Amino acid sequence: MNKLEAVVFNNRGGPLKLKLKVAKKMPLPQRCYLWACIIFGIITVLPLFHYMSRWEAVNEVKEEDLIRLSNLDLEEGLVYSGNIIKSILDIKSYTSTVLENGLRVLVVSDPLTSLAAASCDVAVGSFQDPPNIPGLAHLVEHGLFLGDSEHKEANTFEQFLAEHSGHSNAFTSQENTNYYYKVSPDKLEESLHRFSLLLSHPLLELESLQREYHAIQSEFLKDKLESARQVWRLIKHMANPSHPFHRLSPGNLETLQNLQHSSVIKEFHSKHYYPENMRCVVYGREDSQDLLEMSRKCFSKLTNMKPRSEPDQEKGWVSAYPEERLGVWVDYEPLREGNDLDMIWPVTGASRCGLGMQYTCSQRGIPNQR
């Protein structure tokens, strides 16, 4: 028997010795196959050792990292890239910071990405709608795409993205409004400039917004035909009428007719769309420092926005489901045939609406978590 020995160095400088015994009279095709397996194994295993070493370094829990992480909401200008948990095969770099204006930003550097992206979440939703104008937060979401201080025409941001392999979207939930988009990597900085103007200096003219009434009405009518939405409306209807969860959160043509002046829309925007009430994520090919600098440059436009001075509306909220509204059995006529059992219970502190976990048991008997 002949003995073959291969020495491979890992990324720490230490040798990894592979000893193999090969028969003298092994046929040539089998030897070629054996060597091919050896080479393939080395190519496959070496990157794994590299990522394992990186994983160990990332997961070293340091006291100063924990202190910085716990104080992230308090220290302006802090840049943090330490103990962020991710997959061992994730080569992307994550760095978070709080800008001078109070905006929290997470940048993700991925040299291999084919598209750049950004997202901004604002801590305002249908719960903050005035009682007489349900759907106002949803309308503001639509209105932000109807022009800003530099780009007066509607939908210029979406047109720009479409010209550069991208698109955008947004949604309004009970307690958050989220805007996100994708774009060609070489247009990330220009798109961030436009995005920040969209958030900070929207026109919000009543005449333009009135055209969006019909878009919101179309969404409302479409939702009426969906079975899941039917159940959701029933759940909202059963809630305490004094709680915002009971309201018609997306709004429709009827509720928005109560909006008579653009000053109401602009006041709602200035009250809730300020840096400390927002979180942004930027994703691109550039390294983390370049992405941070890009974010500082573009999102500095948010500094002219002032925090709301009035106390939080939700501080005076009553329970969404007081005792007299619990333990209720409801039969309803569904939009489609099927056998569903919906079980819902409130969990104190789970969310501001007081809803807990919901499970649906289908006719197959398999519970699906919602």
Task: Give the catalytic positions in this structure.
Answer: 141
357 — phi, psi (to 5°)? -85, 145
Are residues 277 and 124 in contact, defined by beta-carbon separation less than 8 angstroms?
Answer: yes
Burial 280-292 (b: 16+ CB within 10 A, else e): bbbbbbbebeebb
Cβ atoms within 10 A of the Cβ of 51, count? 15
Length of the chain: 370
Residue reference for tokens 């930003």: 105
List the one residue out of 194, 200, 195, 201 whose CA is nearest residue 148. Answer: 201
Are residues 15 and 7 in contact, defined by beta-carbon separation less than 8 angstroms?
Answer: yes
Are residues 156 and 147 in contact, defined by beta-carbon separation less than 8 angstroms?
Answer: yes
Are residues 204 and 266 in contact, defined by beta-carbon separation less than 8 angstroms?
Answer: yes
DSSP state of 226: -
Handedness of CA 162, 165, 171, 177 (dihedral sign): negative
- The number of angstroms, rounded, from the C-alpha of 369 to the middle of its chain's C-alpha atoms is 21
Cβ atoms within 10 A of the Cβ of 68, count? 16
- Report the alpha-carbon distance of residue 305 to residue 161 in Å, rounded: 26
- Report the alpha-carbon distance of residue 172 to residue 228 in Å, rounded: 17
Taking 3-state DSSP, the helix, strand and coil percentages for the chain, each rounded to the nearest 5, stand at 40, 20, 40
Helix and strand element counts for the chain (H, E):
10, 12
Instruction: Take residue 216 and report the two structure tokens written for it.
Output: 């919101």
Which residue type, as a one-letter code, is found at position 181? Answer: Y
